Amino acid sequence: MIVAQAKIFHEQLNLQHACDYSQGWLHKFKNRHGMSLHYVYGEKRGADSEAAAKYVNEFAQFVAKAKLSPEQVYNAGETALYWRCMPRKTLATESEEAPTGGKDSKGRVTVLGCSNAASTHWCKLMVIGKSVNPRAFKGVKSFPVIYRGNKKGWITTKLCLEWFERYFVHEARAHCNSVGLDPKCKIVLILDNCSAHSKAELLVKDNVVGLYLPPNCISLIQPCDQGILRSLKCKYRAAFMRHLLAAVNNGKHVSAFMKEVNLKDVIWTLAYAWDKVTPSTLKNG
C-alpha cells in the first residue's frame, strides 16, 4: 500500500526522475520514519476512550473514598481456549513439499481468571466445558480448578452468580484476613458488562460487591485483557507442546497423542499455567 501510494504521488507531482520503488526503497523509507508492522485491533479502534478516562477518574475517587488497598480490589475476566489446537506454522527445508495438516480441533472451554490488584492472590480458575460430567473425570474427586458444564461451554448468569457467592467471596475474604486486614473490610470485584454476567445488585454478599466497567471500554481498561489472560494461554500452549514433545520422544505418533488428550489433562495443565503467571504480569495488568 505504501509503494502504491508513493507511485500515485510520483504521478501527481509530475516528477521527472525514475524510481522503481523496490523493497529496498520501502525498507529505507520505513526506517527513516520509524515505521514498523503492527496488528490492527478492531475492538480497540471502536472503544470509547473518553468514557474509559472518565471511569478511571471516578474509580480512583471511589477507591480513595472507601480507603481500599490493592489487596481489596479484584478483577475477573473470561477467555476461550481451544485446548487441542496445533500450531499453524512449521519449519521445513527447501526440498520438502509444503506441509499439510488435519482439521483444527473444535474442543473449546471458557476459562474465568481472577486476581487482585496487589498481585498477591490468584483465585482458583473456573473452567466451563460443554459436558457436565465428562468421561475423563470418572473416579476423580478433587480438582485444581472449579469445573462446570453447559451445552455451549459459555458462562451464564447462573454460573456467574454461583461462582461469586460460593467461591469468590470465600476466597477473597480468606486472603484479606491472611494479610491482616479487618475481617469485615470491603472487597470490590471489577467485571466487564457482558450480558452473561449477573446484575450488579445481585453481586453483593458479606461486604463484597461487584462493579461493572462501562460499555465499549473493555479493551482499554479491563485489567485481565491487558496481558493477564494472554499470558495464561501462552503458558498453557507451551506446556501442551512440551507434553506433545515428550509423547513423540517416547515413540507415540502426534495423531495418537491428540486423541488421548482429554479434559482432565486440560484442567491440570491450565492450573499449572495459572500458577506460572508472574506477579509482575498481574501488576502490569
Give 209-230 pLDDT, tens digit per residue.
999 999 888 888 999 999 999 9
Mean of the pLDDT values across residues 67-77? 96
Percent of the chain residues topping a pLDDT of 90: 71
Q: Which CATH class is domain 47-85+105-284?
A: alpha beta
What pLDDT shows up at residue 41?
57
pLDDT value for 35:
86
Contact 262, 134 (CB under 8 A): yes
To which H or E segment does residue 256 belong? helix 254-260
Distance separating the N- and C-terminal Cα atoms of the chain: 35
Question: Residue 43: is its pLDDT beyond 70?
Answer: no
Residue 71, CA distances (Å) to 119, 217, 228, 274 in order: 8, 24, 17, 19
Q: Tell me the average pLDDT across 274-284.
A: 95
Question: What pLDDT is stored for residue 114 in this prediction?
Answer: 97
CA 241 from centroid of its chain's CA atoms: 19
Taking residue 12's Cβ as centre, other Cβ atoms within 10 Å add up to 8
CA distance 244 to 17: 58
The single residue listed with the C-alpha cell 527445508 is: 93
Residue 89 has pLDDT above 90, yes or no: no
Q: Which residue from 122, 119, 172 is spatially nearest to 145, judged by alpha carbons?
A: 122
**Cβ–Cβ < 8 Å for 221, 56:** yes
Q: Determine the Cα–Cα distance for residues 189 and 86; give it in Å rounded to an integer.
A: 35
Q: What is the pLDDT, as a whole number, of residue 77? A: 95
Return the sign of the alpha-carbon dihedral for residues 178, 180, 181, 184.
positive
Task: Name residue, grid cell 490492527.
Answer: 40
Q: Reply yes or no on whether the pLDDT at 91 is more than 90.
A: no
Rg of the chain's alpha carbons, rounded to an integer? 24
**Number of residues that this document lists for the chain:** 285
CB of 70 closer than 8 Å to CB of 172? no
Q: In sequence order, which residues have a C-beta less than 8 Å from that of residue 281 and are 6 or more positions away?
A: 119, 227, 228, 231
H-helix or E-strand containing 81? strand 73-82
